[in-house]
Amino acid sequence: MSHPHPELGPPPKLPEGGLRVIPLGGLGEIGRNMTVFEYGGRLLIVDCGVLFPEEEQPGVDLILPDFTCIRDRLDDIDGIVLTHGHEDHIGGVPFLLREKSDIPLIGSKLTLALIEAKLQEHRIRPYTLEVEEGQRERIGPFDCEFVAVNHSIPDALAVAIRTPAGMAVHTGDFKMDQLPLDGRLTDLPAFAKLGEEGIDLLLSDSTNAEVPGFVPPERDISGVLRQVFADAQRRIIVASFASHVHRIQQILDAAHEYGRRVAFVGRSMVRNMGIARDLGYLRVPAGLVVDVKTLDDLPDDEIVLVCTGSQGEPMAALSRMANRDHQIRIVQGDTVILASSLIPGNENAVYRVINGLSRWGANVVHKGNAKVHVSGHASAGELLYFYNICKPRNLMPVHGEWRHLRANAELGALTGVPKNRCVIAEDGVVVDMVDGVAKIVGKVQAGYVYVDGLSVGDVTESSLKDRRILGEEGIISVFVVVDSTTGKIVGGPHIQARGSGIEDAAFSAVIPKIEESLAKSASDGVAEPHQIQQLVRRSVGKWVSDSYRRRPMILPVVVEV
């Protein structure tokens, strides 16, 4: 199996008649999915999503793909195909359209409705092309055919991209639920036809490649939810992704059966469920959904709240309820259902929320103690079945961490894909398909781009390191006034500390060390403020390290007179 090497350099010019594939996100991680296809000097993008930050990225709101390698080629982009409406596939679109707002967006009805609502907040009016399964569209030199796939959101599509270099098929996210709530199956006959025609490169969802067997049907959750509703004595609060229409449908059905009213909490949940209802993807019995403001008029055993926060996001409704920072107060006897899986990296945040809810007396039902979630991604058994149908000549695992990508490549090899044609890449690694053979040819920049408030890309790894130090070790400020000519101290040093855990009185021990160091530097003729700052930083840093085994941020301020 081919895989990237650290010595990879920039890719060579794409050979005439070749197809280039550049993943800019989604490989080696769960999120910010984005893949660029190039043929004949033109570009087609599949998905443009976001990644959500982890604890070691304090202050960051979102993480975007790096657009650097396409920034000077925006006019070459013929369109952005969106496979489905999840944030990790569409959340980065507003930031790309800020750079060129007329790039066409191609997707299904629900996917486009969700992204249009998001773009409205950014005051961008996109050019869109609505497609459905079975439809073929010419997008520049790319002949695209759209295929229905089943996922945890309605209207998901895979895309087959035909070019003179061969056919590439991108599955998007998919599974093979044989009893889907909306009756829309993954179209295996269509994939079989593509396989007979000849799939030269298959880019396939890897998320559950390590999980044996088949994913249970979504409707299996229904019985568990009904039992939870039957047992609940007071309010029921359900946390789910704001786009998981199938899961919310089952919550609505259970609420209707047990005589409860439902209120949506949170802007994204209210917006997305409104869109799904208006387009007919969510069936809502008359009078079932009420405004959250009317809940005070209803008894607790007739209330269901549906909110975001199933991943422990600090600003989401459920986290704020757990922290007693929300208008809805958790009380003894409330039932809270976390109707989702744990995205890797979110475990600590989710268990922190579960503990907070339990502290206030809630009965918390989650995947660990009840079957309230099934995955939206194909397991190993489904992937084997899928590869035997598609018979790809080359396989490129996408959408997953390294362990998922490798497991997926091994499944492909088991079904007959030659091992040297199972291409394990990572973000930024360039794969060229020439004469029917896919191989790694180079690497482009594909780092993290951080969104912090209104700032996009201004936060660097260095500044995140500073934030972590400030949060973990605190800060020590040292003020010194020196003679601008001689460099001798004429005032100070004055020391202030915040969050370092060191008492102010203790700093009297380091002041003679600072004075001694600066006296020596002055006698050596050092008077330049930056050099004096470095001396102060080293003197204080060594003392703190020797005395306390700590490494706070040290901020020396030198004033010349």
Binding residues for substrate: 242-244, 373-377
Rg (CA), the chain: 28
Rounded distance between C-alpha atoms, residue 167 and residue 193, angstroms: 13
Annotated binding site: 59, 61, 84, 86, 88-89, 151, 173, 242-244, 373-377, 399, 452
Q: How many other β-carbons are positioned within 10 Å of the β-carbon of residue 355?
A: 11
Rounded distance between C-alpha atoms, residue 26 and residue 47, angstroms: 10
CB neighbour burial string for 231-251, b if at least 16 within 10 angstroms, e if fewer: ebebbbbbbbbbbbbbbbbbb
Give the pair of three-digit tokens for residue 470.
Answer: 């400030």
**8 Å CB contact between 34 and 24:** yes
Rounded distance between C-alpha atoms, residue 487 and residue 438, angstroms: 64
Active site residues: 205, 377
Those residues with Cβ within 8 angstroms of residue 148's Cβ, 6 or more apart along the chain or in another chain:
133, 134, 156, 157, 158, 184, 185, 186, 187, 190
Instruction: Choose among 137, 69, 65, 73: nearest CA to 103.
Output: 73
Annotated binding site for Zn(2+): 84, 86, 88-89, 151, 173, 399
Rounded distance between C-alpha atoms, residue 362 and residue 343, angstroms: 23
Q: Is 326 helix (H, G, I), strand (E, B) or coil?
A: coil
Rounded distance between C-alpha atoms, residue 244 and residue 181, angstroms: 12
Residue 194's alpha-carbon distances to 49, 118, 159, 258, 328, in angstroms, are: 27, 34, 11, 46, 51
**8 Å CB contact between 438 and 421:** yes
